Amino acid sequence: MKEWAGTVYPRGARSGDYLLHYGQQFNTIELNATHYRVPGPETIAKWTRDTPSDFQFCPKVPQAISHSRDLGTGTSQIEAFAYAMGGLGVRLGPSFLQLPPYFGLERCGVLARFLERWPKGLPIAIEFREASWFSGGDLHPDAVAILEAHQAGAVITDVAGRRDVLHLRVTAPFVLLRFVGNDLHASDYERARAWAAQIRHWFAQGLPAVYFFAHEPDNLKSPRLADFAHQLLGGLPGVSCRGPVLDSSAPGQQLGLF
């Protein structure tokens, strides 16, 4: 986002250097660009050059796979995507497959075939959106069984308008949490504090990694939410975490509610 120049990026930064500056402040990114186009090897090589060795890309599975009738199992698209992402090497974090809002529990078999086809050793998480996948604040047992059988994660989505999709089920050795705020309302900070407590609990139980992605309806405000989460979590013993060093003199960037 060019609007982050002067806050996340230095003032006057060139767009070609945005990732370089981003990687100095954060250690992961929700990579939505891959949902629309699989990058070529030159792009992958530039991404690796522009980021520190501890940086983790979490690529979104292309919509040509996620929104197809068979989740791409009838083509070679799964293997092609996995091969391209493999070029990220140690910088490759979990990929995530966002199922369409109409993809319901009755299609468990399709999901199982996708995970059987997905290359072993590449972590992946599934984001469920259709209501039948959830029951009483948890994932349906059929979904849990499929994910655990393939050591796949279940994306945890915390969004004000869909409390039914919020769950705490851990089915893989990582958690991918998508936190959607409410325009930096006071409740955003309350929810972030609750997640910090939950993440501390998971770490105490031995969970190796949590990927926390901060969203706001106006993503100019997302770095402020990420900064707050980092203040809550960055000082935990043994936790490697980076967060933004915001320019508090920039208009609209003064931090509050701390």
pLDDT number for residue 28: 95
HEC string of 112-166 equals HHHHHHCCCCCCEEEECCCHHHEECCEECHHHHHHHHHCCCEECEEEECCCHHHC
Q: Is residue 8 domain-resident?
A: no
Whole-model pTM? 0.91
pLDDT number for residue 254: 36
pLDDT number for residue 160: 86
Considering only CA atoms, which of 213, 203, 210, 209 is closest in space to residue 236? Answer: 203
Q: Is residue 253 domain-resident?
A: no
What CATH number corresponds to the domain at position 63? 3.20.20.410
Count: domains in the chain? 1
Low-confidence ranges of the chain (pLDDT < 70): 247-258
pLDDT number for residue 1: 87
Report CA-CA distances (Å) from 231 to 146, 193, 242.
36, 10, 10
pLDDT number for residue 255: 35
CA-to-CA distance for 140 and 132, rounded, in angstroms? 8
pLDDT number for residue 86: 96
Residue 146, domain extent: 14-233
pLDDT number for residue 162: 87
Considering only CA atoms, which of 195, 204, 130, 143 is closest in space to residue 169? Answer: 143
Cα-to-chain-centroid distance, residue 79: 21
Q: Is residue 127 domain-resident?
A: yes
Determine the 3-state secondary structure of 210 from DSSP: strand
pLDDT number for residue 247: 62
Determine the 3-state secondary structure of 5 from DSSP: strand
pLDDT number for residue 235: 79
Give 99-115 pLDDT, tens digit per residue: 999 999 999 999 999 99
- Identify whether the C-beta of residue 202 lies closer than 8 Å to the C-beta of residue 177: no
